[in-house]
Every structure is written in C-alpha cells, then in structure tokens.
C-alpha cells in the first residue's frame, strides 16, 4: 500500500572557496563574501548599482577594492539587512575590508590607514521621557 519512490542520487555541488567578513554600522549588518574569480558585486541578489541608487553610496561600497586596485580580480556577494541605505553601504565597506584582510594579510596596513577596518560605533541616542526627542525639549510656554 505504500508507494515507494525510487531513490534519486543527488550529486553534491562543489562549493566555491570564498573569504567572509561581517561589517556593522548603526543597525545594519552586512555579510560579505569574496570569491577569487572575476565578477562584479551582488547585494541581496541584485547588482550593487541597482541596490544603491546614489553615486556616493556606490563609491563607499567599492572603496576598499578601489584603494587596493583589485577590482578586476574579485567577485563579491553581499547579504545586508537593517538600517538605511547609507548605513548599509558603510556596513558593506567594513565587512569587505575585513574579508580582504582574511584574503591577504598584506592588505591590513593600507585598509587600516584609510579607516576601513574601524567599526563606527556611533548609535542613535535613545529618547528620554518628558522630551520630544533624545534632547529636544518641548517648546516653553509662558501661560
């Protein structure tokens, strides 16, 4: 009464070798993978130019690779979530710099000098009770 389906053997797909780095900025978290083959940058399954419409954000994302002059030799895949687009772009820059250091430890000094390996720890200050925002007090009324 039980219909058994014939066992289908799945051939394992050999995963490509990559180097991974995690970057953070505000509430954005980016997981960056660098492959040692030619290709572009894919962010959340989209081309980075489509994902980041502003030229300043596109420049931030590719800054570590452009500084090292290895744009033609790398393929980058990114998963990023949280925050806004500019925060995500800076998180990708941080993660990309970390992954490049894992790829080649000689990249550490130039990336450190440019400040791409430093995590920007600034966060939004919390709102306090009795105030409109974190520090903005309600307008004073005489009567």
- Tokens representing 95 are 């993660």
Domain limits, the chain? 18-114
Residue 73: predicted pLDDT: 86
Owner of token pair 């058994």: 4
Task: Tell me what pLDDT residue 143 has.
Answer: 80
Q: Which helix (H) or strand (E) holds 29?
A: strand 28-35
At residue 59, φ and ψ (nearest 5 deg) are: -65, -40
- One pLDDT digit (tens) per residue for the chain, 143 residues: 666 766 777 766 667 789 999 999 999 999 999 998 888 999 999 999 999 999 999 999 999 999 999 888 889 999 999 999 999 999 999 999 999 999 999 999 999 999 999 999 999 999 999 999 999 999 998 88
- As a dihedral over the C-alpha atoms of residue 53, residue 57, residue 58, residue 61, rounded to 10 degrees, the angle is -140
Q: What is the pTM of this model?
A: 0.85
Check residue 105 and report its DSSP letter: G
| CATH node for 18-114 | 3.30.230.10
């Amino acid at each position: 009464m039980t219909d058994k389906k014939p066992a289908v053997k799945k051939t394992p797909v050999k995963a490509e070798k990559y180097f991974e780095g995690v970057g953070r900025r505000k509430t954005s978290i980016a997981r960056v993978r660098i492959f040692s083959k030619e290709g572009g940058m894919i962010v959340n399954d989209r081309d980075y130019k489509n994902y980041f419409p502003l030229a300043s954000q596109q420049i931030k994302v590719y800054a570590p690779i452009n500084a090292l002059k290895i744009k033609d030799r790398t393929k980058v895949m990114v998963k990023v979530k949280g925050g806004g687009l500019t925060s995500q772009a800076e998180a990708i820059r941080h993660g990309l710099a970390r992954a490049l250091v894992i790829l080649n430890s000689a990249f550490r000094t130039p990336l450190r000098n440019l400040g791409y390996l430093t995590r920007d720890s600034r966060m939004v200050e919390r709102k306090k009770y009795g105030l409109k925002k974190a520090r903005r007090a309600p307008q004073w009324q005489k009567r």
